Amino acid sequence: MKSILNQLIQLQELNFAKEEQKASNSQMPLAQLEKSIAKIRSQLPPDVADRYDRLQKRYPLAVIPLAHGNCSRCGLAVPANVVNAAKAGEQLQYCPHCGRFLFFPDTIARTPKKKFDGNRPVEVGIARFSAANLMVPKLAATTREEVISELAKALGEGGFVEDAATVTELALRREAIVSTAVEHGLAFPHVRDVEGGGLTFAVGLKEKGIEFGATGDHLSKIFFFIVIPTPATAFYLRLLAGLVRTFESTEARKALLDCEKPDEMWKTLAKLTKDTIP
């Protein structure tokens, strides 16, 4: 049964990768994604595949991790026997409230819940999702794995994630399914289904470029590492579209890549995204 659950999780990741390609307006061919989706679906038992299809029509995510005994999407408590069965992995389990497939994650990424400061002004634009201490203008990394690890470390040191190593591991698993690199030297490694906190991203620059899996052997130079709580999954696609729209411009990419310091990079990013990320 674990093999079927793993197939469902991979199928969902591929479907979401397809939506990411659409949101980023990527010109990369979707044929391979479609082929992989069809292959995995054909391997599922017919009743499981049909249930997945029905759920997909209703929800962006049909396969959901348990979190502290609750369905991490609808937020309602799940009976203990269902939680224990999901942990054992002997048969598929469903949320009794929303009907989604449930699984017990072997690793969990968490973001600390920030305390609300009543005197703090309302944040707008990218200030809702990032900060100057999450800007890395001169990445030391030379590989995809090192880029993800370095940006995860920045998130951890900034207090935005609890365990940078776990976040790194989960992001690399996601990259193994299909690369998050798109055109114009951009890449969007990310981790979804994170517990607590809000949608947050760190940004790293590598002017020489790094092989990140883009088609045509193109190098990636601007990296947005995004941590996505389950409730923010749909909004993430809008953020992704806004960032891609911003950096379709050669001038915008050059302005960011020319930054030497985190504060300069932050101000430049805020200015460039003023109209694309309200």
Could you read off the pLDDT of 10-53 as tens digits, one per residue?
898 888 888 887 787 766 567 778 888 999 999 999 999 999 99
Please tell me the predicted confidence (pLDDT) of residue 217. Answer: 67
- Confidence tier at 233 by pLDDT (50, 70, 90): confident
- Domain 2-103: top CATH class: mainly alpha
Domain assignments of the chain as residue spans, ordered by start = 2-103, 125-272
Question: What average pLDDT score do residues 230-238 get?
Answer: 81
Task: Assign a CATH topology to domain 125-272.
Answer: Mannitol-specific EII; Chain A (3.40.930)
**33 against 209, higher pLDDT:** 209
Task: Report, as an integer, the average pLDDT of 67-77.
Answer: 88
Q: What is the pLDDT of residue 8?
A: 92
Model confidence at 114, pLDDT cuts 50, 70, 90, reads: low
Report the candidate in 219, 231, 165, 159 with the shortest Cα–Cα distance to residue 194: 231
Q: Is 178 left (phi over 0), alpha (psi -120 to 50) or beta?
A: beta
Q: What contacts 137, CB < 8 A, 6 or more positions away? A: 205, 259, 260, 261, 262, 264, 265
- DSSP 8-state secondary structure symbol assigned to residue 78: -
Instruction: Give the residue-averaged pLDDT of 89-94.
Output: 89
pLDDT grade, residue 120 (50/70/90)?
A: very low
Q: Supply the pTM of this predicted model.
A: 0.82
Pairing mode, strands 219-229 and 190-194: parallel
pLDDT band at 113 (very low <50, low <70, confident <90, very high): low
Token pair, residue 39, equals: 């292959």
**Are both 2-103 and 125-272 of the same fold?**
no
